[in-house]
Amino acid sequence: MLTGAFADAGADREEISRALASLATGGSITWDRVQRRGMAATKFRVSVDEPQRLRHLSGILKMIQAADLPDAVKASSERVFRVLAEAEASVHGVGIERVHFHEVGAVDSIFDIVGSCLAVHLLGIHRIVCSPVNVGSGTANTEHGALPVPTPATALLLRDKPIYSRGPALELTTPTGAAFVAALAESFGAMPPLRIRSIGYGAGDHDFKQHANIVRVMVGEPSGAPESTTVSVIEANIDDASPQVIAYATERLLEAGALDVTVLAAQMKKCRPGVILQVLAAPEKREELIALIFRETTTLGVRFYAAERRVQPREWIEVTTKYGPVRIKAGADGFAPEFEDARHVATASGVALKQVLAEAAYEYLKTR
């Protein structure tokens, strides 16, 4: 489905077909135009005449290295297979080189991974952002028998990633697809600001009644809209920690890279006064900051969710007051003297902080 979607978005199908043929697997591919619930999409089909055999990671990597592929595609394909092998090794409790690839060692899965990596290269994509992943439900029939969905390898690959289950009781995300996004997606969540260049739809085998069985790929360029960003909001209700502990945790969170930390007074259960510790963080910093909250406060649980925020572009401008230099954080519609600069100047000069702030604002406005 991914390879079909990338091809539908404009990746050269003839180039993909030629490159995959150089893997010398004995498989062949076709590109079909199909419909899923009335939506037109590209179906990437793989056919193999000879019986499939088990493959180890080393054998697959040798195939990739011997193929006629750009070095960047070989590197990204190997990265996906290594991530997949690590997950399978963990699930089965064996070393990575002892992993027997069953379904994912088949020709169609090799073509899926290498084909998608090549398509990404052909489209000139440098950054991949993935939406929350629909894993499906029910059971999946595998070489190891019936397994619950998501299968163990898929679940491990998507650990710490946003997933959900909706639609028919089938496996909707395979280890192959999970490995691709786990290895190559920079982040998961809301769509980043972009100017859409092309859109592609890749079709799956089934035609569900509940929804169109397709994967959509949107290829674009940064739109220059930095005000639209995704953040993680982390919150904890705390009613058994001293103010000193909360203050110290706040400082540590900011030092660790939190975008902002807020402490809100709250009335907790049994009428106990407490606080709500709220942290704004870049998504990639979420787990680190959660661990810090557990370490530095008394809470036994946190909640977190994704949110979007808008931030005006800003710049730093240094002004010279009669008491000393102070930086100004200036945006399109407002400005503010940097507090730490003003405090340092006030302490060094013996002038009241409010006077330094007013003087810095006056000097900035003189230049506008």
CB proximity list for 70: less than 8 A, separation 6 or greater = 118, 121
**Tally of CB atoms within 10 A around 122:** 19
Predicted local confidence at residue 191, as pLDDT: 80
Instruction: Look up the CATH superfamily of 229-309.
Output: Transcriptional regulatory protein pf0864 domain like (3.30.70.1380)
Predicted local confidence at residue 258, as pLDDT: 94
Tokens read off for 50? 């000879």
CB proximity list for 173: less than 8 A, separation 6 or greater = 133, 134, 135, 136, 150, 154, 158, 163
Residues of the chain with CATH 3.30.70.1380: 229-309
Q: What are phi and psi of 48, to 5 degrees?
A: -135, 130
Predicted local confidence at residue 131, as pLDDT: 92
Reading the chain (368 residues) residue by residue, the pLDDT tens digits are 999 999 999 999 999 999 999 998 888 999 999 999 999 999 999 988 766 667 888 889 999 999 999 999 999 999 999 999 999 889 888 888 777 675 544 788 899 999 999 999 999 999 999 999 999 999 888 777 888 999 999 999 999 898 999 888 999 999 999 999 999 998 888 787 788 999 999 999 999 988 999 999 999 998 765 545 778 999 999 999 999 999 999 999 999 999 999 999 999 988 899 999 999 998 888 999 999 999 999 999 999 998 888 777 778 899 999 999 999 998 878 899 999 999 999 999 999 999 999 999 999 998 88
Across the chain, the runs of DSSP E, i.e. the strands, are 27-36, 39-48, 129-130, 133-134, 139-142, 145-148, 163-164, 187-188, 194-203, 214-222, 229-238, 260-267, 273-281, 303-309, 314-321, 324-331, 335-337
* Model confidence, pTM: 0.65
DSSP character at residue 259: S
